[in-house]
Structure 1
Amino acid sequence: MIKLLNWFKNKLEKYPLQFIEEDILKSLFKSNEDGEELSSLKIKKEFNNLDELQIKQALESLIQQDDILMNEDKIIINQSGNKKAIQLIRKHRIYETYLAEKTGFSKENWHNKAEEKEHLLSNEEVDQMDKELGYPKFDPHGDPIPTKDGVLPKLKGRPLSKIQQNSLVKIIHIEDEPKEVYLELLKKDIHIGSLISINTINNKKIYTSESRNFEFSGDELKNIQVVIIETAEVLPKNIYRLTDLKNDEKAIIHGLSQECRGINRRRLLDLGFVKGSNIEISMVSPMQDPKAYLIRNTLIALRKEQTNMILVKKVNLDEQ
């Protein structure tokens, strides 16, 4: 145990002061945007993995660089501090987008990897990534990406917790912090771009998306950002995830989830998973995963994480 504590202490001591400063600036910027009070006490609580000396040195350095002002315990973030924080946010969100589009890393790992890499990437490297990705406006979670000039667009929409019953909404953002709430949302397999209808049964709100009913905790509802869909737009009926197709059912591909990105999306499109293609289950493995699907006279094996990204419309027997 002593060896472990010493190892952890050494890791903290090796964490560069610059990284601590940047993390503090990003935290102050986000708190300021949320209208929260900024104080050194709040910073100490948030960065409780660091000792007070490290935090004190970082705050003193930020004052010397004119990034922040301090009045007793209160902190004011200056224009230069805001600019540095936005640059860090840009690096983080572009790198997360790169991980989603260009690599096979699961979404559970994107945030932590970006938290590390954001301190190491140069502005030139990030600009090159931005170009390769086609200048995306949003990261994989739906957060707006700051421009090269340091403009951070406001996130539109409202938390799902603020939406009344008998509404139809579209998910535009899923917050990835705090981590424990985000991981619970990942388990529910909800997707950015999906439509959710909100109804009440027996005085209880029911959230329905892609023919599935969901229950959310209060914290989860706050972390899902949505926009209300105008009544002129019709919620597609009889749309399911391919995962929910039964052995004796047939379906037509409706489309791919917005969260199916990069290499995985291109592969599915190349295999024929395009709107209008007929599909049915042909074989099932003993463990029920993967399953082999017949599409365009070809058998293709897919796992659950892939079929969750494919939307289909079930075909009634009398339509076949």
Structure 2
Amino acid sequence: MIDPLNALIIAAILSAISSWLFWPEKGLFWRWQQARQVTRRVLREDALKHIHDCEYHNRRPTVKSLAGSLRITVNEATELLSEMQAHDLITFEGDQVKLSPQGRDYALHIIRAHRLWERYLADKTGYPELDWHSKSEHYEHFLSPADAEALDNELGHPRYDPHGDPIPTAAGELAAVERLTLPNFPLDQPGRITHLEDEPEAVYAQLVAEGLHPGMSIRVVETTPQRIVFWADGDEHILAPIIAANISVDALPVEEAPEPVPHDHLNALKPKESARVIGISKAIRGAERRRLMDLGILPGTVITAELRSPAGELTAYQVRGATIGLRDEQAALIDIEQERL
């Protein structure tokens, strides 16, 4: 015969396990269901972005292109499209996928949320440039239209994200942009970088490492099947055409083209050398830029290199009577006069 006390204990344990698994909204099963629903929603929203991107650039979205973009199987992509059609997000014209009006509005909201988040991370935080896109890929799925509007107000209604892509308005208007890639830009003509493509990630990382960013003045001096040689804000860059194709430029009238100013970068200073600051690269944004300016790194300031770390990655500088430490990649984005003082 079962001991009543043991039976009571076993019943209590089973009840506790059952509650842990199935308690409404908080149980493990319900949390798993909620996570699954979020995952499906994120997939649908990423699919909407992919289809919109194809339509915006006059490309045809396919099941294979969707599967590749979302890193899912072709069968999973087919099932996802059927689900989206059931939600009136897409339509089929023959075998071609098209966004419905409801699907286009939804896609533009996600794109707006993503680009506003990138603008926020660039202008208001100290996150590295290579993190802006990946973090925005996450946050875009949790920003309501009201949240997006509040963020837009806080940022002062920016028209473009930090890569140069237009930000959709709250009404769903997205500016059409005609772009000329760097390999197709005429030789010896003044221009300005208007956009850096942030995908694929490895290519974007190389552009960031080159110190390139929208707004830089450029002039192409050599174009061959092997390389593109150009000057950007006084520095020479050499890129393979396949990499340079991720840079978009606009022509500048000759009278608007700024005269290149000969300069060095702060990391070129040797210990005990001094030079005068010309400016801080626009590639330094947000909190990091404000910190450098608060430290007194402004045009006209004299900076002296004091001591370099054994590995050469960190240098101590004298700035207006204070000693500060800067990493080599930070100092490379501070322009100084070529003349040593």
**TM-score of the superposed pair, with normalisation by structure 1:** 0.85
Identity among equivalent pairs (%): 30
Give the AA of the match of 2:196.
Answer: I
Report the counterpart of residue 49 of structure 1 in structure 2. 72
Please identify the structure whose Cα radius of gyration is greater.
Answer: 2
- Go from structure 1 to structure 2 and tell me whether the alpha carbon gap of 1:250 and 1:283 turns closer, same or farther (over 3 Å shift): same
What's the CA shift string for 1:150-196, capped at 9, x where partnerless?
11123354211211211232222111012222122223232332222
Return the offset for 1:212.
Answer: 3.3
Report the counterpart of residue 289 of structure 1 in structure 2. 313
Q: Is the 8 A contact 1:136 1:145 kept in 2?
A: yes
Secondary structure at the counterpart of residue 129 of structure 1: helix
Distance in structure 1 (CA, Å) of the matches to 2:223 and 2:78? 54
1:261 to 281, 285, 291: 285
Secondary structure at the counterpart of residue 141 of structure 2: coil
Distance in structure 2 (CA, Å) of the matches to 1:234 and 1:114? 34
Distance in structure 2 (CA, Å) of the matches to 1:83 and 1:178? 26
After the TM superposition, which residues 241-252 of structure 1 pair with which residues of structure 2 at under 5 Å, given as runs?
A: 241-247=265-271, 249-252=273-276
Return the offset for 1:227.
Answer: 1.9
Structure 1 outlier segments of 4+, above 6 Å: 201-204
2:44 to 21, 36, 41: 21
Q: Which segments of 5 or more consecutive residues in structure 2 lack a partner in the other structure?
A: 1-32
- Go from structure 1 to structure 2 and tell me whether the alpha carbon gap of 1:298 and 1:229 turns closer, same or farther (over 3 Å shift): farther
- Go from structure 1 to structure 2 and tell me whether the alpha carbon gap of 1:129 and 1:201 turns closer, same or farther (over 3 Å shift): closer
2:163 to 141, 147, 156: 141
Distance in structure 2 (CA, Å) of the matches to 1:251 and 1:167? 32
Distance in structure 2 (CA, Å) of the matches to 1:169 and 1:74? 38
The answer to whether structure 1 residue 239 and structure 2 residue 282 are counterparts is: no
2:109 to 83, 87, 90: 87
Distance in structure 2 (CA, Å) of the matches to 1:46 and 1:84? 18
Return the offset for 1:62.
Answer: 2.2
Report the counterpart of residue 137 of structure 2 in structure 1. 115
After the TM superposition, which residues 27-66 of structure 1 pair with which residues of structure 2 at under 5 Å, given as runs?
A: 27-50=50-73, 52=75, 54-66=76-88
Distance in structure 2 (CA, Å) of the matches to 1:265 and 1:26? 32
Distance in structure 1 (CA, Å) of the matches to 2:101 and 2:335? 46
Q: Which segments of 5 or more consecutive residues in structure 1 lack a partner in the other structure?
A: 1-9
Report the counterpart of residue 168 of structure 1 in structure 2. 190
Aligned residues: 306
Superposition RMSD in Å: 2.6
